[in-house]
Amino acid sequence: MTGWLVVAGLGPGADELVTPQVAAALAQATDVVGYIPYVARVAPRAGLTLHPSDNRVEIDRAQHALQMASEGRRVVVVSSGDPGVFAMASAIFEALEARPEFLSLDIRILPGITAMLAAAASAGAPLGHDFCAINLSDNLKPFATVEKRVALAAQGDFAMAFYNPRSASRPHQFARVLEVLREHCEPSRLIIFARAVSTPDEALNTVTLAEATPEMADMRTVVLVGNSQTRRIGPHIYTPRSAL
Ligand code: SAH
């Protein structure tokens, strides 16, 4: 048996948003590796071993996946959304850099629909002009870097998507991010709190920066901040394709 390693994005939640390419890789896999709730989205079947693990062990998980593929297994590492967006694809390459004996393995990254694009589609087209994505978690970078990037993106009049906006272990940081936005953006700036997009729990809440409170976000929320031109048209939110 020739082993391979696929890093696949499962999309934001709904089964119909899993790409046919990812579904085909899962159908051929002998092993699925990933964070517990993502592995739980893969249907068990004979011949498939599921390896759920905790969130903070990404490099161990990546090494385990490379090891199994080198032994001839067909391994799919699953992420939610897209595997290249704050997820496992980079962790696999970090592990590969440390273990060059695995360089000859067949490694492929299969894209998925990332949370900000699913959320933007539900809202309308708030990311229709230039935008950036920022992970607000300080697990892998200092919080001062988060503040600096938010401030500079606001000064550049980018629309923004915030991943991992708020968790129980760092409840105050999102309040600070809102303060930074208030220093650079007008109070009427539109902000979309998009929670559990494409799942039965989906909830979209659009408010102005003046109305936004930290409690509007949790770890199942992606926050979209419009640029200075973002506006409402009926129930839809959109950003014009041209800048003034
Ligand atoms: N690789 C994933 C992101 C992982 S980071 C992707 O491409 O979407 C986890 C963060 O993604 C969450 O804290 C939240 O901000 C966002 N997220 C993931 N799924 C989501 C969903 N269905 N609805 C809203 N936000 C989601």
Pairwise CA distance, residues 149 & 230, whole Å: 20
132 CA distance to ligand 1 middle (Å): 15
Q: What is residue 57's predicted lDDT score, i.e. its pLDDT?
A: 83
Q: What is residue 171's predicted lDDT score, i.e. its pLDDT?
A: 78
Q: What is residue 128's predicted lDDT score, i.e. its pLDDT?
A: 97
- Identify the residue whose C-alpha is closest to ligand 1 atom 17: 115
71 CA distance to ligand 1 middle (Å): 32
pLDDT in tens, 142-189: 999 999 999 999 999 999 999 999 888 887 899 999 999 999 999 999
pLDDT in tens, 77-129: 999 999 999 999 999 999 999 999 999 999 999 999 999 999 999 999 999 99
Distances (CA, A) of 224 to 32, 61, 95, 121, 187: 31, 31, 32, 11, 15
With a CB cutoff of 8 Å and minimum separation 6, the contacts of 155 are: 184
Average pLDDT over residues 135-139: 92
Q: What is residue 170's predicted lDDT score, i.e. its pLDDT?
A: 80
pTM: 0.96
Q: What is residue 212's predicted lDDT score, i.e. its pLDDT?
A: 98
Pairwise CA distance, residues 209 & 178, whole Å: 8
Identify the residues whose C-beta falls under 6 Å from ligand 1.
12-13, 79-82, 85-87, 114-115, 119, 163-165, 194-199, 219-222
More confident residue, 54 or 234: 234
Q: What is residue 122's predicted lDDT score, i.e. its pLDDT?
A: 98
244 CA distance to ligand 1 middle (Å): 31
Q: What is residue 64's predicted lDDT score, i.e. its pLDDT?
A: 95
pLDDT in tens, 32-88: 999 999 999 999 999 999 999 987 788 899 999 999 999 999 999 999 999 999 999
115 CA distance to ligand 1 middle (Å): 5
Quote the tokens at residue 89. Answer: 């694809």
- Identify the residue whose C-alpha is closest to ligand 1 atom 18: 115
Lowest-pLDDT range, 16-25, 132-141, 185-194, 231-240? 132-141
Q: Which residues are 133's β-sheet partners?
A: 161
